Structure 1
Amino acid sequence: MQKFLYLCKYKNKLENEFKNDDLEILIATMNRDSLDFLNRIFTFSPYHTFNLLIINQTTEKQLLHSDYPNVKVINVFEKGLSKSRNHALRLATGKIILIADDDVVYPEGFQETILKAYNANSTVPIICFQTLTTEGKPFSRYAKTPFFFGTNNLNKVLSIEVTARLEALRDTNCIYNEWFGLGARFQDAETLFFLRRAIKSGLRVLFYPENIVIHESHSSSDEVTSDRLIYAKMAGFYKRFGVGAYYYLLKYLFFLWRKRYVSLAGLYPKLKTGLKGIQDYKEILKTKEETLHG
């Protein structure tokens, strides 16, 4: 009898473990009319062996189609990365979802790494992993051991490092803020505000020190002197810190000058850009379409 009970417990454990079919990869892309781009993403195994959901932001004249049952394509006629992510979250069916872009490469074994992490952390709803550069180096300075994120140490998490249990996201209505992200009004920080929303909704976000994706070492967020980034970053600072955003604007300008990214004479235009970002976000708050401290 004791042996039978042990076998039943072991069988139940196996049945509850996540398997390859439980993972769905949500890919955001634009203006595609062929699936050939997927061959560059999945280099070690045919792309149609994975469960993919592709959101193609395009026009009615340039549509993307799939003949594979596990490669689902949704053509949408609006712009904005966060909108694309939200479409994917609404339409996804996998138990675990992986956020993806169309310019990454997945190494062999990435799927097993993700599933292993979830099976070892059965109560964790969101797990963030590591990225390797195309030169084989860590994309960022990652911790050596797992830890749980707080709302104030999420800044360096890349969207392509994020995985989640879909049910947990839906139970807490955890979606992307469509005011932020590439193609939106403020073109930065969509992942930051997504994960902050998750934590404030009671979802734990775990860092797991394993590589799951390869990306070029440059990121759009590296454009520290661009008006696009300064404008968006200061709006994000106001969302997080209210009037404290003015302090962070001055601190950021000092950083640009100290690192010699911008000359002393060039600081004033950057100041105006940052103030414009804050002011425009404040105007949005007046419409009641957005909330402070998200």
Structure 2
Amino acid sequence: MSNYKNTDLEILIATMNRSDLSFLEMMFQQPLAAIQASILIVNQSTKTVLQSPYEHIRVLNSPYFGLSKSRNLAMNHAVKPLCWLLDDDCVVLNNSIDEVISAYNLYDYDVLTFKTQTLEENDFYNYEDQFKNHNKKSIIPILSPEITFNRKSILIAGLKFDTRFGLGAQFQDSENYVFLDSALKKKLQIGFVPQTIVQHPATTSSDDVASNRVIYARGAIAGRRNIITAAFYQFKYVFFLWRNGHVKSFVELWEKFMVFQHGANDYLSGFEGHRINHPKQ
């Protein structure tokens, strides 16, 4: 059984074009001077430079864009045993750090995920009400701010975010799924803790299921899973779009079908770029 303390957790925040730390006050719901958490911020920008006068709030300014690049940079420069991924539109609950530390002292796991509330204090999803081990299916809906991990375990496994996935990348979605699926393939232990640690707006960038941006990424995921079954997932996804009224005509349905196929083909061929240019987002 571990004996982690609150000072053993580092919060890794991805943000863009920041010139001051005032956004942390909204995230932590307290004045900047009162925030005691260990924080590492990656500010991606070619226009602004973010600085911090606090030793426990460190900043990395990077001119290279892409959410997964930001995550990897933060993971490489983190110094605490435990890490927690956050976005700059989250609200950290008062007891969150205590909950994370308690969970790692109770469970000897490499990665632990938690629950998210909407800003209206409703559960973001229908979560389980007890601890469980994650599998390939249960990791699909996990949000970034629900992910915490043992940094040493991640480094030993050589685990990184795939920079082809995530906002600002070629496949602009599904970076969390790819990261956690890779962790499962490397035999890391991933558990779910039924404690709420963060609030997040009720919608995410993944909710626009009919956008070419999301469909292209889902195609890439299908190709990544298995070249043989990619066509099955392609038909399944476009049928989902049709059944739920996300597309209104056969012409539009065919377009979505081909966007999915482009995603699968581009992933499997290693093509880099934005061939479809995400015309309808």
TM-score, with structure 1 as normaliser: 0.89
Q: Which amino acid aligns with 2:41?
A: I
Aligned partners of 2:66 and 2:167 also within 8 Å: yes
d(CA) in 1 for partners of 2:264 and 2:106?
A: 43
Instruction: Give the equivalent residue in structure 2 for 1:184.
Output: 169
Aligned partners of 1:48 and 1:68 also within 8 Å: no
Alignment of 1:87 with 2:73, yes or no, is yes
d(CA) in 1 for partners of 2:255 and 2:35?
A: 49
Higher Rg of the two aligned structures: 1
Secondary structure, in 3 states, of the residue corresponding to 2:120?
Answer: coil
Aligned length in residues: 270
Identity %: 37
d(CA) in 1 for partners of 2:10 and 2:59?
A: 13
Aligned partners of 1:187 and 1:228 also within 8 Å: yes
Cα deviation, 1:26-80, whole Å, max 9, x if unaligned, reads: 0000011111111110004646411000001101x31100010010000011111
Aligned partners of 1:82 and 1:181 also within 8 Å: yes
Mapping for residues 100-179 of structure 1, pairs under 5 Å: 100-121=86-107, 123-179=108-164
Instruction: Give the equivalent residue in structure 2 for 1:76.
Output: 62
d(CA) in 2 for partners of 1:178 and 1:213?
A: 25
Aligned partners of 1:126 and 1:204 also within 8 Å: yes
Alignment of 1:26 with 2:12, yes or no, is yes
Secondary structure, in 3 states, of the residue corresponding to 1:208?
Answer: strand
Instruction: Give the equivalent residue in structure 2 for 1:254.
Output: 239
Secondary structure, in 3 states, of the residue corresponding to 2:225?
Answer: helix
Q: Which stretches in structure 2 are left out of the alignment for 5+ residues?
A: 273-281
Instruction: Report how far residue 211 of structure 1 moved.
Output: 0.1
Alignment of 1:51 with 2:38, yes or no, is yes
Q: Which stretches in structure 1 are left out of the alignment for 5+ residues?
A: 1-12, 287-294
Aligned partners of 1:44 and 1:108 also within 8 Å: no
d(CA) in 2 for partners of 1:37 and 1:45?
A: 10
Q: Which amino acid aligns with 1:169?
A: I
1:39/1:63 CA distance change after superposition, 3 Å:
same
Q: Which amino acid aligns with 1:58?
A: S
Instruction: Report how far residue 281 of structure 1 moved.
Output: 1.4
Instruction: Report how far residue 264 of structure 1 moved.
Output: 3.1
d(CA) in 1 for partners of 2:117 and 2:137?
A: 24
d(CA) in 2 for partners of 1:268 and 1:261?
A: 13
Q: Which amino acid aligns with 1:89?
A: M
Cα deviation, 1:252-288, whole Å, max 9, x if unaligned, reads: 11111111111133201111211211222122079xx
Alignment of 1:223 with 2:183, yes or no, is no
Secondary structure, in 3 states, of the residue corresponding to 1:273?
Answer: helix
Secondary structure, in 3 states, of the residue corresponding to 2:193?
Answer: strand
Indicate the structure with greater helix content: 1
d(CA) in 2 for partners of 1:130 and 1:156?
A: 11
d(CA) in 2 for partners of 1:208 and 1:149?
A: 10
Instruction: Report how far residue 147 of structure 1 moved.
Output: 0.6
- After superposition, the CA RMSD in angstroms is 1.5
Q: Which amino acid aligns with 1:161?
A: E
Secondary structure, in 3 states, of the residue corresponding to 2:270?
Answer: helix
TM-score, with structure 2 as normaliser: 0.93
Secondary structure, in 3 states, of the residue corresponding to 1:183?
Answer: coil
Aligned partners of 1:231 and 1:274 also within 8 Å: yes
Cα deviation, 1:157-184, whole Å, max 9, x if unaligned, reads: 1111000111111111111111111111
